[in-house]
Chain A
Amino acid sequence: MIQSFFNPEIIVAAMPIVLAGLFNTILLSLIVVPLGLAGGLVLAMLASVKSPLVRWPLMAWVDFFRAFPPLVLLVLLFAGLPFAGLELGGFACVAIAFFLNTGSYYGEILRAGIDSVPHGQVEAARSTGLSGLQAMGYIVLPQAVRNVLPDLLSNTLEVVKLTSLGSVVAVPELLYQARQAQSITYNPTPIVMAAVIYFLILWPLVRLLSRLENRALAGRG
């Protein structure tokens, strides 16, 4: 059992490969999280335009990308686009797919946050001469973000976990590297290592979230 799953020699041998993967996972997260947030912010601010001409296409866009499993989106970009003569690397495909998918999730969360800020806040800000955009940036968004912080964090946790999909399109992130090491060593120890690393870096966030969520639901009860 130990020999199969926690083989010390293999741990030592695979460590550099797996750590390189961890580095790339962190890098990937640092790119796709802000990208998704930016996309979500644009969607949420567009949603505060009450015109049905904006609202309905926006809702369709968001639901469309929430209905697609992210992996399907990724494969579509990675394997489908080359037939149209557009060959993007695995990394670019991950970035685009995440922008579309997680952006829609972030967008829904931020929209709910903006909706939760009383309209009087905007009116008060506008009455002091702030422009609509200024009122949004200085008054509404800070309160909105605070109101939906648990949901934002929870979605960010999911996004970081989703970066493991990069392994399917040969992005050398943690899971991909671990599988490489596994196929070289014929031993699942590297995959166990990857799992342990994921757990160690994400556990604190999970603990924090569990507290925040419990409090949120209790407050509503």
Chain B
Amino acid sequence: MSSWDRFTDTFFNAKVMAKYWPDILYGVGVTVELAVLIVVSGLLAGLALALIRALAIRPLNWLIIFIVDLFRSLPPLVIIVLIYFGLPAADISPSGFVSTWLSLALVLMAFAEEIFWAGITSIPKGQWEAARSTGLGFGQTLTNVILPQALRLTIPPLTNRTIAITKGTALGTVVAVSEILGMASSAMSNSYNPSPLMMGAAAYLVLFLPVVVAGRWIEKKFAWKR
């Protein structure tokens, strides 16, 4: 056996791959499900916080700023571990899936709030005044005049941040979520062969490479021009 054959036999072993590809595929399903849940709930929660912040109620705003700072400062893995291994001591035992979802959604919420808020405050005061002078109320001005302009500004930074946080679904493997990395790791230890790990890596590339390339495109398309 040549060394090249030995290499492919180890890392791209056809028999092992044939046996474990359904596992990896299952992991892909879990990863996608987790990612979608994180993106939807994280972005919505972030937008909600930014809108509440626009009401300018002092104590509430301090609370929002603290929450945002907290989840920007803590490493996502620390939050996951804290929820998964810590909460049971308070008689709440979330599954690994829920712990990962909750943690990453909170992190995305924090970053999204920050970005949405920066977008809202970057709209000139004159826009508010013009709208209010025609009789539009606070909420009407926010939804019809301010947000459409602010959201456009926030798309590039939001896209990049969302991609980065969604990749964190791999952290779920630490708390036994059967997402791609988790499935690949256990398949690797069952088969004493790294081929499942290579399949897992390929699956991540297939999932995220298009997203990264799309992010690049969005960044160009929504470049600052008004």
Q: Do chains A and B touch in the complex (CB under 8 A)?
A: yes
A interface residue numbers (CB < 8 A to B): 1, 4-5, 63-64, 66-72, 75-76, 79-80, 83-84, 157-158, 161-165, 167-168, 175, 179, 182, 187-188, 191-192, 194-195, 198-199, 202-203, 205-207, 209-210, 213-214, 217-218, 220-221
Say whether B129 faces chain A, with CB atoms less than 8 Å apart: no
Whether the pair B75, A69 counts as a contact (CB closer than 8 A) is: no
Say whether B4 faces chain A, with CB atoms less than 8 Å apart: no
Distance between Cα atoms of A58 and B114 in the complex (Å): 32
Distance between Cα atoms of A2 and B127 in the complex (Å): 50
B121 touches which of A68, A162, A214, A220 (Cβ 8 Å)? A214
Whether the pair B197, A161 counts as a contact (CB closer than 8 A) is: no
B interface residue numbers (CB < 8 A to A): 7, 10-11, 68-70, 72-79, 81-82, 85-86, 89-90, 114-115, 117-119, 121-124, 153-154, 157, 164, 167-171, 173-174, 180-181, 185, 188, 193-194, 197-198, 200-201, 204-205, 208-209, 211-213, 216, 224, 226
Distance between Cα atoms of A68 and B200 in the complex (Å): 11
In the complex, chain B residues whose CB is within 8 Å of the CB of A214 = 117-118, 121
Which among B75, B81, B208, B216 has the greatest number of chain A C-beta atoms within 10 A? B75
Q: A188-B85, A217-B119 are in contact. Are A72 and B204 (CB under 8 A)?
A: yes
SS of B interface (majority): helix
Distance between Cα atoms of A213 and B161 in the complex (Å): 14
Distance between Cα atoms of A164 and B78 in the complex (Å): 7
Whether the pair B170, A202 counts as a contact (CB closer than 8 A) is: no
SS of A interface (majority): helix
Distance in angstroms from B203 CB to nearest chain A CB is 10
In the complex, chain B residues whose CB is within 8 Å of the CB of A182 = 85
